[in-house]
Amino acid sequence: MTSLLTDKVIISGIGQSDIGRRLGRDALELTADACVAAVEDAGLTLADIDGLTTYPGASQAGPGFSGASLRDIHDALGIKPNWVAGGVESPGQLGAVVDAMLAVAGGMADHVLCWRSIWEGTAQGAGRRQGYGARGGRPTGMMAWQLPFGATAANLAAMQVRARMIRYGLTREQLASIAIVERANARLNPSAIYSDPLDLESYLSARMVSDPLCMYDCDIACDGATAFVISRVEHAAALDHPSVTVEALDCAHHDRFMWEGGEDITRISSRWSTIWERTDYTVADVDYASLYDGFSVFVLCWLEDFGFCKVGESGEFIADPARISLRGDLPINTAGGQLSGGRLHGFGHLHEACLQVRGEAGYRQVDDVVLAAVGVGAANSGTTAMLLRPER
């Protein structure tokens, strides 16, 4: 059994711009760098691209949240696409990649360029992130029920940590493994934002952002863009590197689009993943996992959602950081994740999984990757899970 997409589409190209805390470079330029790199990696020219998808598109969210819209890249690169889709209303950030895959599988395009560009490092550095009252008037929508209470994403993630402590006995010592392992991985990634060593003692004595969530549990705003090319499977023969096969996809958006909207706030989604019903592989076959880490606790949710461990046991599962380390049973987020690598907003997770599947991750390469799992999305933003593997 394989996904309907498995025999139809591949990830043919990947590309990334410079990544930095505050590069001070134009966001469109960074986005174009990533897009051109992905197209060249796919062995194509811009004239071959006949589809464009992106997340979040021309968003109204905070400064720098969207580095370049679909129309910006359409104009800047002179693409003449038949199929376009860009927007924030999606099953998590990777919904834009799924859109690209569906467009190719459905015959709407042969080569779709898909990107996520973010510029929060520079945009927020120019002035503090806008908060309550900064734009005047009553906050609306989701913010109407957060800002009057001084609540941000970090506070909501902190309450998820606390709920896991209450229900499952999670400890800070266990949670620390995520930040510590990702920092060790980041030291092997020249593009990572943070590469100073981090140990348990430093973690436990770190500044609290929102007790029990400390600064090392929070990802870091950055500037950077990541791009992919999704092609028809026939293009695999033209590549000068291994192609990435899409073994299975699983998307969900069952919960209300609010941080507190999940039926069970200890989970990533109120619907358990159905991805293992869509493949003959099993969870035991996964050699590498990219798990979304906007906050460290989301990794715990994804470990349970994929079934790497039983519900409520993710804390014990990672208690010994060796298990999820580069040479452990289940290496995760080998580029450093978003905690140490920067908030590339899920696209960095997919990029690293592609490198691992292609055997191109350099010093942080996991041996003989047969199956890679990618889980992106958090706190009821909708989720997308992928299983990727080398072409057989």
Partner 1 sequence: MALSGRGIVETWTVNQHQFFPGFTPPYVIAFVTPVEDDRVRVLTNLVNVEPDDVTAGMPVRVTFQRCVDGEDEVFIPLFEPDH
Alpha carbons within 13 angstroms on the beta-carbon side of residue 148 total 8
What one-character DSSP code corresponds to residue 301? H
Beta bridge partners of 231: 10, 111
Which of 19, 151, 275, 291 touches partner 1 by CB under 8 A? 151
- Residue 209 as a binder of partner 1 (CB under 8 A): the answer is yes
Q: By CB under 8 A, what part of segment 117-136 binds partner 1?
A: 131-133
Min dist. Cβ of residue 311 to partner 1 (A): 17
Q: Which of 4, 36, 46, 154 binds partner 1 (CB under 8 A)?
A: 154
Q: Retrieve residue 201's tokens.
A: 């003692």
CB of 299 to partner 1, least distance (A): 19
Taking the complex as a whole, the smallest distance from the CB of residue 255 to partner 1 amounts, in Å, to: 12
Roughly how many angstroms between the first and final C-alpha of the chain, as a whole number? 15
| 204 is a site residue for partner 1 (CB under 8 A) | no
Amino acid at residue number 277: E
Evaluate whether 206 touches 8 at the Cβ level (below 8 Å): no
Residue 145 in the binding site for partner 1 (CB under 8 A): yes
Q: Which of 36, 46, 76, 147 binds partner 1 (CB under 8 A)?
A: 147
Residue from 169, 166, 164, 202 nearest 183 by CA: 202
Phi, psi of 53 (to 5 degrees): -135, 150
Q: Which stretch binds partner 1 (CB under 8 A): 111-119, 154-162, 338-346, 373-381?
A: 154-162
Per CB under 8 A, 150 contacts partner 1: yes
Q: Provide the minimum distance between the beta carbon of 141 and partner 1 in the complex, in angstroms, as a whole number.
A: 14
Residue 146 makes contact with partner 1 by CB under 8 A? yes
Q: Establish if 169 lies at the interface with partner 1 (CB under 8 A).
A: no
Given the complex with partner 1, which of 80 and 167 has the nearer CB atom? 167
Is residue 158 a contact point for partner 1 (CB under 8 A)? yes
Bridge-based pairing of strands 51-54 and 83-86 is parallel
Q: Hey, is 74 helix, strand or coil?
A: helix
Task: Assess 195 for contact with partner 1 (CB under 8 A).
Answer: no
Nearest-angstrom CA–CA distance, 300 and 308? 10
Report which of 390, 359, 384, 357 is spatially closest to residue 97, judged by C-alpha positions: 384
Nearer to partner 1, 207 or 327 (CB): 207
Write down the least CB distance from residue 298 to partner 1, Å: 16
Task: Find all residues with CB under 8 Å of 60, minimum gap 6, and list them.
Answer: none
Contact of 302 with 292, CB cutoff 8 Å: yes
Smallest distance from the beta carbon of 154 to partner 1, in angstroms?
Answer: 7
Binder to partner 1 among 230, 265, 326, 332 (CB under 8 A)?
265
| Phi, then psi, of 5 in degrees rounded to 5 | -90, -20
The angle at the Cα of 182, spanning 179 to 185, to the nearest 5 degrees, equals 150
- Cβ proximity to partner 1, 154 vs 319, nearer residue: 154
Report if residue 152 touches partner 1, rule: CB under 8 A.
Answer: yes
Question: Binding partner 1 by CB under 8 A: which of 49, 88, 159, 170?
Answer: 159
Q: Shortest Cβ distance from residue 268 to partner 1 (Å)?
A: 16
Q: Is 137 in the site for partner 1 (CB under 8 A)?
A: yes
Write the DSSP assignment of 336-359 as a string of letters. Answer: -HHHHH---TTHHHHHHHHHHHHT
Looking at beta carbons only, is 251 or 265 nearer to partner 1? 265
Span of 15-23, 221-229, 257-265, 301-309 interacting with partner 1 by CB under 8 A: 257-265
Binding mask 335-374 for partner 1 (x = CB under 8 A): ----------------------------------------
Give the rounded distance of the alpha carbon of 106 from its chain centre: 25
User: 236, 329, 238: which is closest to 288 by C-alpha?
Assistant: 329
Please enumerate in sequence order all residues whose Cβ is within 8 A of that of 246, keeping only pairs 6 or more positions apart, or say none: 3, 5, 6, 9, 10, 11, 101, 386, 387, 388
CB 180 within 8 Å of CB 172: no
How many chain residues interact with partner 1 (CB under 8 A)?
Answer: 33
Query: Which one among 81, 212, 341, 342 touches partner 1, defined by CB under 8 A?
Result: 212
Residues that bind partner 1 (CB under 8 A): 131-133, 137-138, 145-152, 154-155, 158-163, 166, 207-213, 259-260, 263, 265
